[in-house]
């Protein structure tokens, strides 16, 4: 008999050789019908894998991320089988599950494929799925695996196998199809009820531009047709909220090939929006005791060698800038933290001076490959709302919790109510990825977990997601469409203070190393604005809107009165404009609605006579007639209600 421990802590005993599906049926036949994958002692297994020793078993359904991963990975196998049947002689490479769906990279040789072929491939996939073919894993020797793919002439699979150790190689079989695979599948193809192939793209083998470009086919699948229908409806909503589309319509930003890929140009309305966001955070930071600093856009290469950034990211940086002096090299700044370390190093400090909180809206530069650039969410030049806190170890817990309060204030003020946190720790199996001592890492990780628990945050731990110099607390926000985004991060760092030899004099009159906290509530201004655009659909909070009010004149005769109303609003610091074009009032209203302007004031003969305005609200319609002063007070109160003061 073996003991199987379930997630709720209960222990069940079974004969050796029992499968995860047998365990599921023992719990409930209804539950078993929904089980699609499993893990045993932390390792992904099949639901049909015999269990021969004591251990912890987790059973996954479609409602678990791990279940979706197995579902979509299995769907990638179905796609690969369909492609082999429709296009004999192709070379398959890899087909993983991704955040939403799956893809498969294929070398089609001299065959061509386009979007119009996707329906035929979908139909073939559905035909295979209906066969209810079971997925099964079998082991293979390295020699046999190499021989199999060499006979096929598939150099891609051969390359993958050559990098694997004998005894760790497995294949997945279903129906007449077999593929090199580590495992993690649903019980059979029949569980896949709805399939949609989304797009075709080019992808270099192993992401290297020097390698051959393959054809990547993206798809998604579901256990029910209604799930696919709902997903496609959500995608249509996402298209309407695409920040690139809205940014153009609202005249916030643009791009120019002459300026360069991934380098956004902020238009007047967008620049004003950014400035309001910056001022909003600066005001809160000042209350929290931060001091603003400014650092240059370049730095000597040696600065980033010292920090460790060059060793980790040098290959992804812009090439060094060479000066007329021999051997002198500079880099476009990829990070602000090394500069802030040198600001700290500019004078001696006592424990009485700490904590020191240096903040900067600092622009940094990273060389992202052109295929990875995407609107404002992936750019080559971006501005971080960066700050670094230098404190004593005794101050770390309190300072970290204060930063959490600041991040929560930012989210609350901008309408991000649905979020969870992720404690990103180092991968204990790959210590070479990180700098610093194990002791420092353990202290930093413990500090983050303690602060998260103290603040009552809903958090989960992710191993291997830490920065190379320290663990972090990431805020994962769900937008109005239910999509998750990483927004805001706080990191504890014992390593950079050592590398830069930062010191302070303690109460014992001895020198000590400060602890460093990295934090960025926005992350980057570019990415934050993009996510905020898509979350709100361009309907920003009233205090943030580029234009809060549009005064719509029924004709040029009322231009003077319109200007009087405008002056009153501007005196009360309300952002307004007058639309006195020779157009119908209906067209003016439609355009104001399209431009997401929150309020419209209609002025004509009666309004001028009575000293009033007719008020319309975006998306709601008429609010009635009131005096300009009463309207101004309404707006000011609405802004006050939205933008609460930050309390330290």
Catalytic positions, written as ranges: 337, 366, 384, 386, 388, 472, 518
* Strand, helix or coil for residue 497: helix
Q: Provide the token pair at 569.
A: 């609003």
CB count in 10 Å sphere of residue 620: 9
CB count in 10 Å sphere of residue 239: 9
CB count in 10 Å sphere of residue 167: 9
CB count in 10 Å sphere of residue 19: 17
Of 376, 374, 544, 406, give the one whose Cα is nearest residue 488.
Answer: 406
Taking every pair of C-alpha atoms in the chain, what is the biggest distance, in angstroms?
A: 93
Pairing of strands 599-603, 549-553: parallel
The Cα-based distances of 223 to 116, 227, 481, 484 in angstroms read: 25, 7, 21, 22
- Cα 531 from chain centroid? 9
Those residues with Cβ within 8 angstroms of residue 299's Cβ, 6 or more apart along the chain or in another chain:
330, 331, 333, 338, 339
Q: Provide the token pair at 134.
A: 């079971």
Q: Provide the token pair at 58.
A: 């987790």
* Strand, helix or coil for residue 219: strand
Q: Provide the token pair at 607.
A: 């309004």
* Strand, helix or coil for residue 519: strand
């Amino acid at each position: 008999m073996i003991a199987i421990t379930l997630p709720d802590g209960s222990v069940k005993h079974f004969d050796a050789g029992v499968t995860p599906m047998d365990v599921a049926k023992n719990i409930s036949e209804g539950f078993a019908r929904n089980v699609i994958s499993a893990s045993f002692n932390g390792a992904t297994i099949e639901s049909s894998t015999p269990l021969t020793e004591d251990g912890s078993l987790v059973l996954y359904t479609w409602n678990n991320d791990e279940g979706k991963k197995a579902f979509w990975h299995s769907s990638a196998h179905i796609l690969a089988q369909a492609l082999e049947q429709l296009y004999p002689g192709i070379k398959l490479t890899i087909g993983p599950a991704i955040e939403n769906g799956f893809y498969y990279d294929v070398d089609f040789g001299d065959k061509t494929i386009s979007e119009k072929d996707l329906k035929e491939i979908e139909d073939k996939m559905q035909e295979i799925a209906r066969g209810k073919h079971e997925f099964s894993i079998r082991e293979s020797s390295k020699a046999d695996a190499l021989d199999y793919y060499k006979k096929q002439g598939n150099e891609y699979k051969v390359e993958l196998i050559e990098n694997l150790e004998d005894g760790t190689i497995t294949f997945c079989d279903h129906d007449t199809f077999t593929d090199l695979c580590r495992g993690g599948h649903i019980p059979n193809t029949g569980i896949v009820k709805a399939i949609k192939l989304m797009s075709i793209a080019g992808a270099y083998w192993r992401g290297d531009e020097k390698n051959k470009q393959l054809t990547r086919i993206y798809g998604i699948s579901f256990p029910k047709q209604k799930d696919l229908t709902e997903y496609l409806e959500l995608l249509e909503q996402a298209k309407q909220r695409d920040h690139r589309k809205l940014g153009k319509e609202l005249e916030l930003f643009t791009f120019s090939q002459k300026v360069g890929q991934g380098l956004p140009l902020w238009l007047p309305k967008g620049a004003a929006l950014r400035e309001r966001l910056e001022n909003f955070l600066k005001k809160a930071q000042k209350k929290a005791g931060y001091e603003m600093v400014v650092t240059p856009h370049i730095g000597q290469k040696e600065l980033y060698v010292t920090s460790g950034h060059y060793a980790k990211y040098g290959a992804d940086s812009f090439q060094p800038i060479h000066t007329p002096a021999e051997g002198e090299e500079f880099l476009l700044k990829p990070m602000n933290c090394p500069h802030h370390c040198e600001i700290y190093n500019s004078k001696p400090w006592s424990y009485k001076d700490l904590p020191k909180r240096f903040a900067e809206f600092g622009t940094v530069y990273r060389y992202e490959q052109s295929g990875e650039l995407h609107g404002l969410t992936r750019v080559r030049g971006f501005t971080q709302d960066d700050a670094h806190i230098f404190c004593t170890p005794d101050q770390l817990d309190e300072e970290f919790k204060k930063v959490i309060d600041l991040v929560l204030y930012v989210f609350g003020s901008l309408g991000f109510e649905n979020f969870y946190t992720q404690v990103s720790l180092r991968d204990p199996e790959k210590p070479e990825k990180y700098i610093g001592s194990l002791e420092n890492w353990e202290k930093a990780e413990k500090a983050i977990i303690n602060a998260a628990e103290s603040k009552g945050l809903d958090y989960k731990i992710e191993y291997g997601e830490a920065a190379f110099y320290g663990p972090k607390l990431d805020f994962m926000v769900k937008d109005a469409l239910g999509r998750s985004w990483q927004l805001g991060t706080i990191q504890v760092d014992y390593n950079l203070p050592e590398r830069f030899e930062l010191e302070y004099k303690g109460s014992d009159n001895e020198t000590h190393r400060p602890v460093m906290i990295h934090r960025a509530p926005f992350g980057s201004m570019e990415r934050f604005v993009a996510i905020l655009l898509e979350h709100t659909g361009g309907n920003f909070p009233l205090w943030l809107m580029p234009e809060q009010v549009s005064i719509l004149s029924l004709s040029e005769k009322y231009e003077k009165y319109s200007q009087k109303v405008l002056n009153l609003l501007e005196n009360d610091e309300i952002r307004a404009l007058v639309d006195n074009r020779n157009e119908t009032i209906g067209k003016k209203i439609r355009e104001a609605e399209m431009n997401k302007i929150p309020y419209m004031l209609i002025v004509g003969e009666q309004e001028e006579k009575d000293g009033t305005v007719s008020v319309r609200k975006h998306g709601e319609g008429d609010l009635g007639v009131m005096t300009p002063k009463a309207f101004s007070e309404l707006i000011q109160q609405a802004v006050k209600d939205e933008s609460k003061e930050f309390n330290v």
